[in-house]
Amino acid sequence: METKLLILILNGLTQAAIFFVLGSGLTLAFGLMRVINLSHGAFYLLGGYIGYSVVHATGNWPLALIAGGLSIALLGFLFERTMLFRVRGGDLPETLLTIALSMIIADVSLAIWGGHPLTLNVPAYLNPRVTIFGITYPGFRYLLMGISVFIALSLWLILYQTKLGAAVRAGVDDRETVSALGVNIDAIYSLVFVLSALLVGIAGVLGGSYLQLSPGGDTTILTYSLVIIILGGMGSLLGTVVSSLILGQLLSFGLAYAPQYSYFLIFVPMAIVLAIRPQGLFGREL
Amino acid sequence: MSVVWKDLRRLVLGVVAGGLLILLPFYAGEYTVTTFVRIIYFGFLALSVGMLVGQAGMISLTQTAFFGLAGYVIGLLGAERGMPFPWRDLIAIAAVLVMALLFGLVAMRTHKIVFLMITLAFGQICWAFAQQNTSLLHGWAGIRGIRPPAIAGINFNRTSNFYWASLLIFALGILVLRLLARSSFGLALNGIRENPRRMAALGYPVYWIRVAAFLIAAIYAGIGGLLATYNTGIITPTTIQLSRTIWVLLMVILGGSTYFWGPVVGTAVAVWLDVLLSEGTERYNTVIGVIFVFVVLFLPGGILSISDSLRDGRGFPFWRRLYARKNSG
Amino acid sequence: MHASLVVTNLHAYYGKSHVLQGCNLTVEQGCVAVLGRNGMGKTTLLRSIMGLTPPRSGGIRWRDKEITGQKPFKIAGLGIGYVPQGRRLFPSLSVEEHLRLTYRHRGLAAAWTPQRVYDLFPELADRRQLSGTRLSGGEQQMLAIGRALVTNPCLILLDEPSEGLAPVAIERMVETCHELRKAGISLLLVEQNLHVAAALAERIYILVSGVTVYESAAETFLKNLELRQKYLGV
Amino acid sequence: MEKKMFKNLFVFLAVLIAANSDVRSAEKEIKVGFISAFTGVFSSFGQQQKEGAVLALEEANYTAGGDKITVIYEDDQLDNEQAVTKAKKLVVQDKIDILTGLVSGDEGLSVGDYMKDKNIPVIPMYSASEDMTMRAFYPMIVRATWTGAQSMDVFGYWLAKVKGWKKIYAIGEDYSYPYNQGGGFKRGFFRGGGEEVKTVWHPVGTTSDFSSIIASIPTDQGYNAVLYNGAGGDAVNFVKQYVELGMLQKIPLIGQSNTFEKPDVESMPADIVGSLSAHHTADDLATPAWTKFKEAYHKRWGHDPSAASEFAYSSMRLILRGIDRQKGDISDKPALVKAMTQVDMSDDPRGPVALDPKYHSAIENVYIREVAKDDKDQLYNKGLWTVKNVGQFGPYDPELYLKQPPDTGSYPPDTPSAFAPEMLKAASEYQYIPFGQ
Amino acid sequence: MATSLCKSFGGVHAVRSADLKVPLGERRALIGPNGAGKTTLFNLITGELAVDAGRIEIFGVDITHKTIQQRAKLGLGRTYQISQLFLNLTAEENLFLAAAAGRGMEFHFLRPWRARLKLIQWAHQCAEQVKLTSHLSKRVSELSHGLQRQLEVGLAIAMRPRLIMLDEPAAGLSPSERPVLTSLIKGLSREVTLILIEHDMEMVLDVADRITVLQHGSVLAEGIPAEIRSNRKVQDIYLGTIYARQLGSN
């Protein structure tokens, strides 16, 4: 039973890892641009699919990770530069545009990759069966946690230790003043959106390797992402870490002890937090 | 004089349009009638969303949940437990009101984009519950075999009868909403949309007015849900899934959220588009997505804004938009 | 590296209200002050120069280059520093980060670096890691000036720098401005506090309802009590 | 402004009405409505169905009984409300003569419910809800395919009786089709002497990480196998994680009929070779009918058929042959249905199929299969045993069977003791014949 | 009416211990340099900001912890430095909203607002008072800035307050537009108490019965206009202690 508990915690951490990669991109874009990117789920799916095609063609998983991430970053860049910037500042048009994009992406993906569930083959050297303290747990999941921690640290470093990060935070505080001081805030907007897209593209490849990709996955992923950032507080990196950890464990233990209601369960902390603190655990008042 | 003339013309137009609608089952095919029934029940849902978006400036993504809740209640009470009309229907509306009050009390503490996200989350909670609860709501399968009641010996299983009943309810719904929009409550809602801060300073209970608007909108969604469920005979979690919610929002924006008739026009176009597209192409989601992008970027006021800007001599909004872009760039 | 800002017949709107209704102004060397009562468009004038409120018509030339309608960051990049009204520091950034964020070397030998700013304002050096908004009013103003300074501008636009400051702090601020001028930086000052303007400016412009109605050497204006009464009510 | 809007609305309505006046074509054609999930979560099955049906139609050159066959495809995204709406559209606007398609059990029941009084034959293809041909049966339904329990009863009985297994841990998707599959399995397993089928349900499509469910499987309580009672994306996830967590070494994995179906099995790790399941098809059938079908299918679509595509092929052929039998005169719908039930389907690719005259359901072969690896390292389902002539009631007396409640998430119970004792006896015995004989 | 009010924002004391007592019917002006805390004090009284310490009372009722709405119901009306109007509604609708405020009209769901003749009449009267009668059916967004400022005052009087607080009513007005507003404010009923923040000294001297001067968040001086004009301390904050000498020597 001890083993079971440990595995459940490890599962929760794995879930948290993928949740964090998902949520961080969304929360980053929201923090600076106040854009709720509802095509986040579709980006995830597409990133995963592109990764799948790369693995299928080359057998090179790390290449797929990079390709999936970069292609979504490129898509994000194009979308931001050609459409999103035209409606900047309008909640409704921004939201609607991202919805529309997600419909198109999901449908085009269905046309290209079909409706069968696909999964990226992780090469054996990345997925050894690791046994620690008598618990056998897939090595890829440790890798996943590692990648997630790496991303979290990188984001923290970028945001809090670089000039770029300072510019981003200053832009969140007062975008007008920061631009009057010589910072090209529009370029930073694009950059943040691209970074957000890159992260979700990577999440797609990771998720497609650890789970699977199939039509309809986009809305599920979008819902998870929204719950993560609402719970943690929109725009807060720390909040995303904490809420990913909470939701990961909740989902893991929920599946073990009340599998029928596991999905419903993840909404419970969100509902409680919303009723008490509408801005989320670590969010700022908007 | 000209005012009288205008009123007369409006009256004539109204009577002719009304007449055409009432006589529809006599000159149009059954499927056309069925489609109009769909327009009516989705129209209720669109009015619900449109009232919140257009009149009160609140983008709510929970309305389909109320739509579904009403359907589930009549399914549970009517089809499964044999409760007669109108009790099950009244209880359904009451249930919608209770849920709207609960959600409203929480959601109205927030504004704008946070409100949008919270209502989105509420909608998802309802969907997740409906999908996962197998003991009461039968999960995925939902509830089947819901039939419209026979009232005064009229069989509402007949498409034309059901259509007339729906049309009557819809006309009443439109009338009430019209009165509401012109009432001091409607004006207060507009005031809140424009400037909640000033409304508070004038002494209006902004929070409660918003809650009341949310309740009224929920009733409209609920009525739509009743009609829809009677029409299809089943209620399932897919009725309240996210894509449906988004679809409804599209209808409202397509028609023009700030216009009274906007949601209705949008629904009519969208439902018909759905019918035509699903026949013509398997990729209709892409087509709808592209239309959506087009509307948001170039026709943000919706279909009804076309005639407005033509009348103002501003040209077709699409070209105006492009032109403005060129100039500023 | 000499400053030359020429504003001609500038019109700008704030929403629907026509705030600048034909504004003319020239800054060459030294310090120019724009005076006027509240709501006369002084702040909007600075915002228009910075590109934050793009003018509807009229021209802004900076070193013989048209900058009307440019993006704010480009204008800043051309060597105009900005100290906004009310300081507008970034709550999320520490003092150090404020200075590092806007620091631009421009290849100058005697560039203003964060270190030089600390030398100028030793009180900031002690509070490097503190959030900018947790400083006192005077320190906040120092930081706002320092933040503009490290962009190494030739001209700094100062919007009501004395606002909300204690007399001692105002004195300190005035001293600082004198030092900046010695370092060859021109100043365009918007003030309500006549004494700050008097202590700093060489030329004075008066703005009434968005129109420059008066221009002269500072002394001429300050000595003329009748004019002061007419335009400023003091 | 208002007047303008009103006018717009009016013009708009007029246009709509004009555009939709119903026109019936004069030339003689038979219209077949085809509702399935071509987009959304189940789109994979919808696609396979379409491929199978199109193959049958092309072989018949889109004619039957001398008439042209037109198929109208409608996508319902597996949304039951949409399914009914689309059925309505097909009936009322397109005036179809026959309705087919239908992937899921609930979809079948919903559409079936609507079609009840429409006097139009309904030929469900993959929808396996047993009630369609049992408790909710009406004479216009002809199902030449299967019910959820049909193959699973055979499978459960075999595991208990032949392999001697006593305890199974079943994890399934929480909706009606797995209920029926699980129900069939339990009946067969208990009848064969099984002692427990511990059942856990999880939500469909939204659970992506099953590892916690897997970690909760007790490895020390003597379970002989874990039955994964789900399909599609969930199955791929489950199986993958089951393998990765090293569970395969502890407890063998078995599946319901669709768990290891092609093409999903191709996304699963090769470690699962040997995992058992039962279905009405097997990928290595070597009968001439199957080989012919497989080759034609491969030629037309570039990949191998699955059960879903074979069922669609066979159902479409049933429709065409039924029309042939009536020589194209389909005005008498009950006669058409009767003709269909009399169609000779002994040459069906998956083996001979006959129709039960009372409930219009299929009597056919069940194959017990294991996952194997072919020479190209692709996984497939290799036949082990064949049981012939299995009907939807299995070995039970139909009246007795119908007296039992329908299968749900909580019925049948997990142990035989809480079970109707008469259900533990059978009217007939299955004959397990080695595959290929 | 307000005693020892304090408010600080992140370490900056915007208002520290300000006392203000305005008798019924008086017209009081608040002046002081930018950042002296005038608007903050204003927002404390109207309830847009919460009080850190101190007590506010109007017409004998303690309103320190009352909501904005409750204060409005007690008869407190205000205008804003930056117009807070309902831009996409007509001027008439704007005035009606203010006229109907606090009269329980907000939950009359079905009766058209136009049917409330008394309120309409009152709204029209207010429109006349702020000289907007000919613009009633225009959308506010189509009105000029000057007319919007007049409507801003119109909204405040339409809610029949007993105390009106005007926050820089002349902000952004051209000199030609100012007299209209000044006469309009002067023409208000004497039963209404008035508190006004304004920088336009001409207007202040013209309108106010008494003037309160704020500096650094506290009251520096208070008196009738003539007293204030000659008050040495007030001159100091305009002329300053440090630079007065310098200026004198210039």
What residues in A contact C77, CB-CB < 8 Å?
182
**Quick one: average pLDDT of D64-92?**
87
**Tokens standing for residue A31:** 């923090």
pLDDT of residue E26: 85
Q: Which residues of A touch B296 (CB under 8 A)?
A: 87, 93, 96-97, 100
> For a pLDDT cut of 90, what percent of chain A falls above it?
37
What pLDDT, on the 0 to 100 scale, is given for residue D274? 93
pLDDT band for position B41 (50/70/90)? Answer: very high
CA distances from C141 to A170, C162, E37 (A): 17, 8, 18
Q: Identify the bridge partners of residue E18 per DSSP, sorted by sequence position.
A: E5
Point out the residue among E34, E216, E239 whose CB comes nearest to the CB of C160. E34
- E109 close to B (CB below 8 A): yes
What confidence tier does B313 reach under pLDDT thresholds 50, 70, 90? low
On the question of pLDDT at B239 being above 80, the answer is yes
Scanning D206-245 for CB atoms below 8 A from A yields 206-213, 215-216, 232-233, 235-237, 240, 244-245
To the nearest whole angstrom, how far is the Cα of D126 from the nearest Cα of chain A? 17
CATH number of residue C67's parent domain: 3.40.50.300
What's the pLDDT score for residue E15? 67
Beta-carbon separation of C93 and A166 below 8 A? yes
Nearest CA among D255, D186, D188, D145 for reference residue D394: D188
pLDDT band at residue C38, thresholds of 50, 70 and 90? low
Closest CA to D69 of D37, D46, D111, D98: D98
Quick check: do A and D touch, 3+ CB pairs under 8 A? yes
- According to the model, what pLDDT value does residue C69 have? 83
Best to test chain B binding among E45, E49, E87, E97 (most B CBs inside 10 Å): E97
DSSP letters for B128-182: HHHHH--SSS-GGG-B----PPPBTTB-TTSHHHHHHHHHHHHHHHHHHHHHHHH
- Answer yes or no: do B140 and D110 touch at CB < 8 A: no
The predicted pLDDT at position A37 comes to 86
Condensed to tens digits (0 to 9), the pLDDT of residues B276-305 reads 777 666 777 888 888 888 888 888 888 888
Domain with C146, as residue range(s), is 5-231
CB proximity C50 to A under 8 Å: yes
For chain A, domain boundaries: 2-216
Tokens representing C54 are 């793009």
Is A119 an 8 Å CB contact of chain B?
Answer: no
CA distances from E128 to A246, C60, D168, E176 (A): 62, 43, 87, 20
**pLDDT tens-place string over residues A82-129:** 888 888 777 778 888 898 899 899 989 988 988 777 888 888 888 887
Q: Give the pLDDT mean for D228-248.
A: 89
Tell me if chain B has a CB within 8 Å of the CB of D7: yes
CA E72 to chain centre: 13
Using the beta-carbon criterion (under 8 Å), do D20 and B28 form an inter-chain contact? yes
Give the list of residues 6+ apart from residue D322 with CB closer than 8 angstroms, or none: D336, D337, D339, D340, D343
Tell me what the mean pLDDT of segment B128-148 comes to.
82
Interface test mutation site (partner A, options D48, D211, D245, max chain A beta carbons within 10 A)? D211
| d(C-alpha B107, C-alpha A234), whole Å | 16
pLDDT value at residue D9: 55
Is the Cβ of A175 closer than 8 Å to some Cβ of chain C?
Answer: no
Chain B within 8 Å of D20 (Cβ-Cβ)? yes
Q: Tally C-beta pairs within 8 A across A and D.
A: 119
Characterise E17 by phi-psi region: left (phi > 0), alpha (psi -120 to 50), beta (else): left
Higher pLDDT, C110 or E72: E72
CB-nearest to D113 from B20, B144, B159 is B144
pLDDT above 90 coverage of chain C, percent = 13
- Give B63-119 pLDDT, tens digit per residue: 999 999 999 999 999 888 888 878 889 999 999 999 999 999 888 888 777 788 888
Least confident of B30-34, D306-310, E161-165, E234-238: E234-238
Segment E14-42 mean pLDDT:
77
Number of folded domains that form chain C? 1
DSSP D56: H
The radius of gyration of chain D from alpha carbons, rounded to an integer in Å, stands at 23
Are E135 and E61 spatial neighbours (Cβ–Cβ below 8 Å)? no
Q: Is D179 helix (H, G, I), strand (E, B) or coil?
A: helix
pLDDT-derived band at A239 (thresholds 50, 70, 90) equals very high
Question: What value does the mean pLDDT of chain A take?
Answer: 88
Please tell me the predicted confidence (pLDDT) of residue D26: 41
Which pLDDT belongs to residue B82?
81
- Kindly determine whether residue D212 and residue A215, on different chains, have CB atoms separated by under 8 Å: no
CA diameter of chain A: 61
* pLDDT > 70 fraction of chain D, expressed in percent and rounded: 93
Residue B42: both structure tokens together: 């989705």
Amino acid E156: pLDDT: 87
Alpha helices in E74-177 (DSSP H): 91-100, 117-129, 145-158
Chain A nearest-CA distance from C26, in A, is: 21
Band (D198; pLDDT cuts 50, 70, 90)? very high
Residue B232 counted as domain residue: yes
Which residues does chain A have within 8 Å of residue C93's beta carbon, measured at their own beta carbons? 166, 169-170, 173
What per-residue confidence (pLDDT) applies to A149? 96
Confirm whether B53 is domain-assigned: yes
Q: Which of A27, A33, A104, A224 to mutate to test the interface with B (most CBs of B within 10 A)?
A: A104
All domains of chain D in start order, with CATH: 28-146+286-360 (3.40.50.2300), 149-279+365-434 (3.40.50.2300)
> What mean pLDDT comes out for the span A158-162?
89
Q: Would you tell me which residues 186-215 of chain D have a C-beta closer than 8 angstroms to some C-beta of chain B?
A: 201, 203-204, 206
Domain that holds residue B125: 36-240
Question: Between chains, do C52 and A176 touch, taking CB under 8 Å as contact?
Answer: yes
- Give the number of domains in chain B: 1
| Strand pairing category for D362-373 and D354-355 | antiparallel
Q: How does DSSP classify residue E6?
A: E
Structure confidence by residue, pLDDT tens digits, E92-139: 888 888 888 867 677 777 777 777 788 888 888 888 888 888 888 888
B93-105: pLDDT as tens digits:
999 999 999 999 8
| pTM of structure | 0.84
- Which of B185, B187, B202 has its CB closest to that of E93? B187
| Overall average pLDDT of the C82-89 stretch | 88
Smallest Cβ distance to A166: which of C50, C72, C97? Answer: C97
Contacts of A254 in chain D (CB under 8 A): 212
Whether residue D13 lies within 8 A of chain B, CB to CB, comes out as: yes
pLDDT over 70, % of chain A: 99
Model pLDDT, residue B326? 38
Q: Label residue E249 by pLDDT band (50, 70, 90).
A: very low
Query: Which domains can be identified in chain E, with CATH numbers?
Result: 1-74+161-250 (3.40.50.300), 76-159 (3.40.50.300)
D1 in reach of chain B (CB within 8 A): yes
- CB contact at 8 A, A247 and A239: no
- Chain B residues touching E93 at Cβ < 8 A: 187, 190-191
